[in-house]
Chain A
Amino acid sequence: MENINVKVNGVSVSVPAGSTALTAARTAGVEIPTLCYLKDINEIGACRICVVEASKARGLVAACVYPVSDGEEITTNSPKLIESRKMTLELLLSNHKKKCLTCVRSENCELQKLCKEYGVEFDDRFEGAMNKYDIDRSASHMYRDNEKCILCRRCSAACEKLQAVSVIGANDRGFDTHIASPFEMPLGSVACVSCGQCINVCPTGALSERDDTQKVFDALSDPTKHVIVQTAPSVRVGLGEEFGYPIGSIVTGKLVTALRRLGFDKVFDTNFSADLTIMEEATEFVTRYTNKDHLPMFTSCSPGWIKFVEYYYPEFIPNLSTCKSPQGMFGATAKTYYAEKEGIDPQDIFVVSVMPCTAKKFEAERIDHSAVKGLPDIDVVITVRELARMIRKAGILFRDLPDGEYDSPFGLGSGAGTIFGATGGVMEAALRTAVKAVTGKDAECLDFLDVRGTQGIKEATYDLNGNIIRVAVASGISNAKKLLEMIKSGEKEYDFVEIMACPGGCVNGGGQPIQPASVRNNVDIRATRAAGLYQDDLNLPVRLSHENPDIKRVYDEYFGTPNSHKSHEILHTGYTVRKKY
Chain B
Amino acid sequence: MKKPISKIPFNGTPEQEAKLKAAIERSNGNKSELIYIMQQAQDIYGYLPYEVQVMIAEGMDVPLEKVYGVATFYSQFALSPKGKNAISVCLGTACYVKGSKAVMDKFSSELGIEPGQCTADGEFSLESCRCVGACGLAPVCVVNDDVYGKVTPEKVVEIIAKYKSK
User: Which residues of A pack against B, CB within 8 Å?
Assistant: 156, 160, 165-173, 176, 181-184, 581
Contacts and interface: CB of A to CB of B under 8 A. Distances in A.
B69 interface: yes
A160 B54 CA distance: 18
9 contacts: A165-B63, A171-B72, A172-B72, A182-B68, A182-B69, A183-B5, A183-B68, A184-B5, A581-B54
A168 B2 contact: no
A230 B64 CA distance: 38
B73 A182 contact: no
A542 to B, nearest CB: 45
Contacts of A184: 5
Contact of A182 (B1, B2, B3, B64): B64
A374 B69 CA distance: 42
Contacts of B68: 169, 171, 182-183
Nearest to A184: B5
B51 to A, nearest CB: 9
Contacts of B63: 160, 165-167, 169
Q: 6 tightest CB-CB pairs across the interface, nearest first?
A: A166-B63, A182-B68, A169-B65, A182-B64, A172-B72, A169-B69
A488 to B, nearest CB: 14
B2 A181 contact: no
A181 B65 contact: yes
Nearest to A171: B72
Given A182-B53, A183-B50, A173 B64 contact: no
Nearest to B5: A183
A170 B69 CA distance: 6
Contacts of A168: 65
B65 A173 contact: no
Interface in B1-50: 1-3, 5, 50
Contacts of A173: 72-73
B66 interface: yes
A172 B65 contact: no
A167 B5 CA distance: 18
Nearest to A174: B1
Nearest to A176: B2
Contacts, number: 43
B69 A171 contact: yes
Interface string B49-67: 0100110000000011111
B2 to A, nearest CB: 5
B128 to A, nearest CB: 15
B67 A172 contact: no
A304 B104 CA distance: 48
A166 B66 contact: yes
B52 to A, nearest CB: 12
A581 B10 CA distance: 15
A171 B66 CA distance: 9
Given A160-B63, A183-B68, A184-B5, 18 more contacts: A156-B65, A165-B63, A166-B65, A166-B66, A167-B63, A169-B66, A169-B68, A171-B2, A171-B68, A172-B72, A172-B73, A173-B72, A173-B73, A176-B2, A181-B65, A182-B65, A182-B67, A183-B50
Nearest to A165: B63
B115 to A, nearest CB: 13
B34 to A, nearest CB: 13
Contacts of B50: 182-183
Contact of A176 (B1, B53, B64, B69): B1
A449 B65 CA distance: 39
Contacts of A169: 63, 65-66, 68-69
Contacts of B65: 156, 166-169, 181-182
B2 A172 contact: yes
B68 to A, nearest CB: 4
Interface centre among B1, B54, B72 (most CB of A within 10 A): B72
Contacts of A182: 50, 53, 64-65, 67-69
Contacts of A170: 69, 73
Nearest to A170: B69
Nearest to B65: A169
B64 to A, nearest CB: 4
A513 B73 CA distance: 35
A262 to B, nearest CB: 40
Contacts of B1: 176
Contacts of B72: 171-173
A181 B69 CA distance: 9
A160 B63 CA distance: 9
Contacts of A172: 2-3, 72-73
B147 to A, nearest CB: 29
Contacts of B66: 166, 169
A130 B59 CA distance: 38
Contacts of A183: 5, 50, 53, 68
A274 to B, nearest CB: 34
A190 to B, nearest CB: 8
A165 B72 CA distance: 20
A206 B121 CA distance: 39
Contacts of A156: 65
A181 B67 CA distance: 11
A165 B50 CA distance: 18
Nearest to B49: A183
Interface centre among B3, B64, B66, B73 (most CB of A within 10 A): B64
Interface centre among A167, A173, A184 (most CB of B within 10 A): A173
A166 B63 CA distance: 6
B35 to A, nearest CB: 14
A173 B66 CA distance: 14
Contacts of A165: 63
Nearest to B54: A581
A167 B69 CA distance: 11
Nearest to B68: A182
A168 B65 CA distance: 6
B60 to A, nearest CB: 13
A428 B1 CA distance: 54
Nearest to B79: A183
A124 B68 CA distance: 34
